[in-house]
Amino acid sequence: MLSGLGLEGYEPDSQHDAAEAFRIQVVEDEQFIPVHQHRKGQLILALHGAITCEVENAMWMVPPQYAVWIPGQLPHSNRATPGARLCFLFIEPGVAAMPDHCCTLKISPLVRELILTMATRNQGEKQTPAMQRLIQVLFDELPQQPQQQLQLPVSTHPKIRTMVETMAAEPAVWQTLGQWARHFAMSERNLARLVVKETGLSFRRWRHQLQLILALQGLIRGQTVQQTAHALGYDSTTAFITMFRKGLGQTPGRYLNGLSD
């Protein structure tokens, strides 16, 4: 197992290996890896804790039992929560029918175990006929993993970047379109149009999507539902649970129970 997230400079050059897997332990409180890219496609699987990736003007949240797929040559940055355990899978272009865009995938127990098995094998063991058959099963199964909507559209526009960074740092303070319109000295109508133009979502939907990402980060770190609701500025836990259920189809408790199954 490798310590940290020090694969930003790593490029799996061997074209003889259709896939390579590595387990990663985040040893610091939090680790941020700036923008980088790989020739091979990369799947980042969260085993414990969570990782947030920024790719293609979108922020992708990866809780346990999920993975983010990043096609080859696509610039991205990573931020892992304290104590996170991850698995990186690099895939040679064209060997599996993976999406040509970044996406979050719900990983089945079978695919998870196949990836973890690969990560424990040395170079010689990976070349055995038995292991090659397992890798082919992985290539058959990976494209079948369902995509999940755990991304936040972002933008290079300075006002949108300011809103994302500020609301992520102080979600209970910066909540309304009116607050931001006054801050930017512009009308609510014009700011609402800007958010739609840059993100494709209304301000309300966009803010709720950010809240879902922040909520998952807090809950995975061990916050209670009540603490998470308070941190996001909700007056009642019930209102927070309603928002969470609309976004992910389950209450926070059921969702977290599913991650630990």
**Which residue bears the tokens 């983010």?**
68
Helix axes 158-169, 203-220, angle to 10 degrees: 40
Contact 17, 122 (CB under 8 A): no
> Where in the chain are all domains bearing CATH 2.60.120.280?
2-148
Q: What is the pLDDT of residue 217?
A: 79
Q: What is the pLDDT of residue 8?
A: 42
Give Cβ neighbours of residue 252 (< 8 Å, ≥ 6 apart): 215, 219, 225, 228, 240, 241, 244
Q: What is the pLDDT of residue 59?
A: 85
Q: Which CATH superfamily is domain 156-259 in?
A: Homeodomain-like (1.10.10.60)
The CA–CA distances, whole Å, from 162 to 29, 214, 216 equal 24, 16, 22
Contact 64, 220 (CB under 8 A): yes
What are the residue ranges in the chain where pLDDT is below 70?
Answer: 1-16, 28-30, 259-261
pLDDT in tens, 31-46: 778 888 899 999 999 8
> pTM of the predicted model, to two decimals?
0.77
State whether residue 101 is helix, strand or coil: coil
Which of 102, 124, 95 lies closest to 15, judged by CA? 95
> Where in the chain are all domains bearing CATH 1.10.10.60?
156-259
Contact 202, 195 (CB under 8 A): yes
Sign of CA dihedral 74, 91, 61, 203: positive
Q: What is the pLDDT of residue 9?
A: 41
Contact 92, 16 (CB under 8 A): no
pLDDT in tens, 49-91: 778 888 878 888 787 778 999 999 999 998 887 778 889 999 9
Distance of CA 97 to the CA centre of its chain: 21
Q: Which CATH superfamily is domain 2-148 in?
A: Regulatory protein AraC (2.60.120.280)
